[in-house]
Amino acid sequence: MASRAKATILDIAREAGVSKSTVSLVLQGSGLIRPETATKVRKAIEDVGYVYNRGAANLRKAHSNVIGMVINDLTNPFFAELAVGMERVFQAAGVVPFIANTAENPVRQEEVLKSMMEQGVAGLIVSPARGTMPGAFRRIEAAGVPVVFAMRRLPESRIPAIAPDNRRGACLATEHLIRKGHRRLAFFGGSSDLVVYQERLGGFLEACEAFAIPVVDRTIVEGETSRKGGMACLETALAMPEPPTAALCFNDAVAFGVILALRKRGLEAGADFAVVGFDDVAEAEHYSPGLTSVAVDTAGLGERAAHVMLKMIQSRTTRAEDHIGAVSLVVRESSGPDRSSQMGDAA
């Protein structure tokens, strides 16, 4: 651990050509320093890597009670519910959460993480943006600041992750559609660069294999993980010579988009085309028709992530076990009636 504390305020002062007291004032966020001087000092801080050691120092002193929550898409109700779960635990523990929305932009994410580190956060809970590079958290890890991934993980990362059992959830949902009598199935939304997509698509394919659904009858349409993405996925699928009659969607937002696109065509989810979502956000129950969805204890996962983070800070460690949350299928109207008695294709 000693090698991580090599850089000192003196090193920064030397690098920037200023006094130690000037560096201290910049680190404290003082408004007494001229902007151009502060910029020069911040560049020196980054060059010598001290900003990250400062975060580790705060952790050791337990003097920072601020935790960063960096969320990839707060416009998605699922991630809003997740953040509320985290916040509930932090408020009870007397911790101040800083929340930021990266809007699936890895450049914005990098800026947010840098800013939070400069504020001396004691830890970070992150749902990584799409396109996050594998080494994006290396410097933060090297500083000894604990990081927990929520819902998403990066390939080959050792950072602990809190996530639902994506593969099992997708498998349950696909089996449900097959048992309803559907034989031409689709998986809508998401993209192959996300680990969570690979897990959910893996569950979909596993069920297709188990029930001998031919490859030609499995439609996979990548797309944005939003209502807009769901609408585009449905249009693509229905333009096929033999379109699917049912779809498992990457998440509920995509499913809501599919239902809207069906309605624009004069079709109804459930009656004409079966739709299943993933996440079971609060809106799913009250949507019209009610959305069949894989239930994830969203707020519970948020709470778990927060508890893990508090424990890591208390134990002064950056290591923790992954947690895979249980899932279940909540059946509502959108997956429609049993087709076994009316095997005609309705799509």
- Topology (CATH level 3) of domain 166-297+329-341: Rossmann fold (3.40.50)
The model's confidence at residue 21, banded by pLDDT at 50, 70 and 90, is: confident
Measure the CA–CA gap between 347 and 339, rounded to whole angstroms.
Answer: 12
Give the distance, in angstroms, between the CA of residue 221 and the centroid of all CA atoms in the same chain.
Answer: 20
For residue 344, pLDDT beyond 60: no
- Reported as a pLDDT band with limits 50, 70 and 90, residue 340 is low
Per-residue confidence band for 5, with pLDDT thresholds at 50, 70 and 90:
very low
Q: Which of 124, 127, 128 has its CA nearest to residue 146?
A: 124
Specify the amino acid at residue 141: E
Structure tokens at 279: 């996440």
* Digit-coded pLDDT (tens) for 221-280: 999 999 999 999 999 999 999 999 999 999 999 999 999 999 999 999 999 999 999 999
Starting from the edge strand earliest in sequence, which strands make up the sheet with 66-71, in order? 96-101, 66-71, 123-126, 147-150, 161-164, 323-325
The per-residue pLDDT for 157 is 87
Measure the CA–CA gap between 279 and 252, rounded to whole angstroms.
6
Taking the C-alpha atoms of residue 234 and residue 211, their distance in angstroms, rounded to an integer, is 24
**Could you tell me the residue ranges of all domains in the chain?**
1-41, 166-297+329-341
pLDDT tens digits, residue range 129-154? 989 988 899 889 888 899 999 999 88
Judged by DSSP in three states, 156 sits in: coil
Which of 4, 44, 6, 2 is closest to 27 using CA atoms? 44
CA-CA-CA-CA torsion sign (337, 338, 343, 347): positive
pLDDT band at residue 301 using 50, 70 and 90 as cut-offs: very high
Token duo for residue 333:
């109207």
**Has residue 298 got a pLDDT over 60?**
yes
Question: Which pTM does this prediction carry?
Answer: 0.76
**C-alpha dihedral (219, 221, 226, 227), degrees to nearest 10:** -60
- Dihedral in degrees, nearest 10, Cα atoms 313, 105, 259, 151: -20
Asked whether 178 and 213 are in contact (CB, 8 A), the reply is yes
End-to-end CA distance of the chain: 62
Positive or negative, the CA dihedral 233, 238, 242, 247 is positive
Whether 102 contacts 128, CB under 8 Å? no
SS3 (DSSP) at 304: helix
Q: What is the pLDDT of residues 284-295, one digit of tens each?
A: 999 999 999 999
Residue with tokens 């000894």: 144
